[in-house]
Amino acid sequence: MSRKKRTRSDLLKYQQGHKKHFADHAYGDANLGKFINYVMWDGKKTIAENIVYSALEKVAEDLKSNVIDIFYDVLNRIAPVVILKSRRFSGATYQVPTSIRPERGMSLAMKWIVSFARKKSQSGKTMIEGLILEFSLAHKGDPSSGALKKAEEVKKMVEANKAYSHLSDVP
């Protein structure tokens, strides 16, 4: 029995479609679907959808705005453009500012929001309350938002290590 020889086009078809995020059911947005996947625990997607939709709708109701507008406003406030990466140069390790793709910045912002909302939910609040608090604080630009604080911390560290930018691709 002979095996089918894979052509280059077969391999490209496999590589192109291996990372696909599907849009969420309520708003049809791929990034919101990805955010729901970050919130999901033990494969319970309907519970994660209920948590995210309840939190975003509550924040949108309080701020009298659209859910998707609030979601993207918060992500854009938090998402970094430049991060630090360790580079080894002449026997020493430097924290070098490195530009990242916008998708990576959004992904980091989502992870930070979920992690700080989980920390708030472990201190006696539900996950919905933690997300409501994190989204509303970040939307207002309040420095007590954990994710916003993390983003500011990353920006400060990038500014402090700007002297090593010649080792990277950041001008």
Mean of all residue pLDDT scores within the chain: 84
**Residues ≥6 apart with Cβ < 8 Å to 70:** 56, 59, 60, 63, 135, 139
What is the residue extent of each domain of the chain? Answer: 23-167
CATH number for domain 23-167, candidates 1.10.3470.10, 3.20.20.140, 1.10.455.10, 1.50.10.20: 1.10.455.10
| Per-residue confidence (pLDDT) for residue 170, from 0 to 100 | 47
3-state secondary structure of 92: strand
| Per-residue confidence (pLDDT) for residue 84, from 0 to 100 | 83
DSSP 169: S
Using alpha carbons, list the distances in angstroms from residue 77 to 31, 32, 48, 140, 169.
15, 16, 23, 10, 23
Between 82 and 165, where is the model more confident?
82
Integer Cα distance of 153 and 31 in angstroms:
24
pLDDT digits (tens, 9 = 90+) for 54-91: 999 999 999 899 999 999 999 999 999 988 888 787 88
Token output for 75: 């992500």
pLDDT digits (tens, 9 = 90+) for 107-128: 999 999 999 999 988 888 899 9
Are 126 and 54 a contacting pair, CB within 8 Å? no
pTM of the model: 0.81
